[in-house]
Homo-oligomer: A and B are copies of this chain.
Amino acid sequence: MQKPTPDRPGEAPSEQGGDRHRSVSIWDVAKVAGVSHQTVSRVVNGSPRVKKATRDRVLEVIDELGYKPNRLARALAGGVVRSVTVLTSDTTLYGASLALRGIEEAARAADFAVSVSVLDDSSPLTPDDVAGRLARPGEPVLVIAFNAAGERAWRALPADFPAAAVVERPQEEHAGGRPEAWLDDRAAAAQATRYLLGLGHHTVHYMTIPSSTTRVGQRAEGWRDALTAAGHPAPEPLDGGWSPRSGYLAARRVVADPQVTAVLCGNDDLALGVLRAAREAGRDVPGDLSIMGFDDAPYAAYTHPTLTTVRLDFEGLGRGAFGMLHRLLDPENAPVLPLWAEPELIVRESTGPAPHRTA
């Protein structure tokens, strides 16, 4: 009489008092329900080839015992994946943090676990390094590539990884390539520039955010596009960073120049810094100078003056990127169609008609 019920291989013959904290496993459920562990596995994974009666009983036992599948074991055994690692370079950047939130939401809805691994500029980012950040080889990856570190990670990622990214612009070289979600910043910047030109400004200056791509960002290109299309030469862009402080520092000189009547900034933080520089230089906004941001940060509607900006749907973008990855993993997964909202111009107080030219 070795086994009345198919005993768990290593089941201790003693009573259950022994182990302090072992959680209920698939075997426990199987034993109570009087089926094999594999049947339980089938029920848990929704296999169709289980008789209804059996399935119901197993479900009942699962509920009764409070069984939760162990993600680790599942992944180890090579089952369905259900986890993503997000590679991002800064969880506090407005766009990145929203994208992360979007990813997390979508992932949770799909019952995926989300790991976050932060890239700093010093990390090597060889394929090996990236692989080392994963919970297990072959785990799906989402990269938030809004800046150089993110972009590098995205490039470093071996092509055979299941991965998707939120990027500033699609990679043309890898056209065959991997799924990427992006916002049409270029068009949005062009629209913003046209809007400013339409107000009568002779030209529009642009302050850059550090771009993920080597030379110029999408926003800068859109700005240049619009200027060129309107027959205006593009002035030299101003190098900004991400913070209000960097905007302030970069703007101090230019803002004093009366020839400059409109500045489009790569994000709202920069715009805020420029706003302050303008005020210190004694220029009225928007009377003497129009200042425009990008992103529509929550505070943009409450600064003084309130910021004209472009609203970007970073959260939707994150959700979309996850959706793409999800579909990549299994084409069954419906790609939610209207993935994210288009950029939208939000006109507030910081921009206005060009001043009368006195020169």
Contacts and interface: CB of A to CB of B under 8 A. Distances in A.
Interface string A292-327: 000000110111101000000000000000000000
Nearest to A85: B113
A345 interface: no
Given A244-B299, A245-B301, A301-B244, A118 B138 contact: no
Contact of A116 (B116, B134, B136): B116
A26 B132 CA distance: 15
Interface stretch (A35-43, A140-148, A165-173, A267-275): A267-275
Contacts of A269: 298-299
A130 to B, nearest CB: 11
**Number of copies of this kind of chain in the complex:** 2
A303 B301 CA distance: 12
Interface in A71-85: 71-73, 75-76, 83
- Chain A interface size band reads 35 or more
Contacts of A298: 243-245, 269
Nearest to A104: B118
9 contacts: A21-B160, A72-B136, A73-B136, A91-B104, A104-B116, A113-B115, A114-B115, A114-B117, A115-B116
Interface of A: 21, 23, 66, 68, 70-73, 75-76, 83, 90-92, 97-98, 100-101, 104-105, 108, 113-118, 128, 131-138, 160, 243-245, 248, 269, 272-273, 275-276, 279, 298-299, 301-304, 306
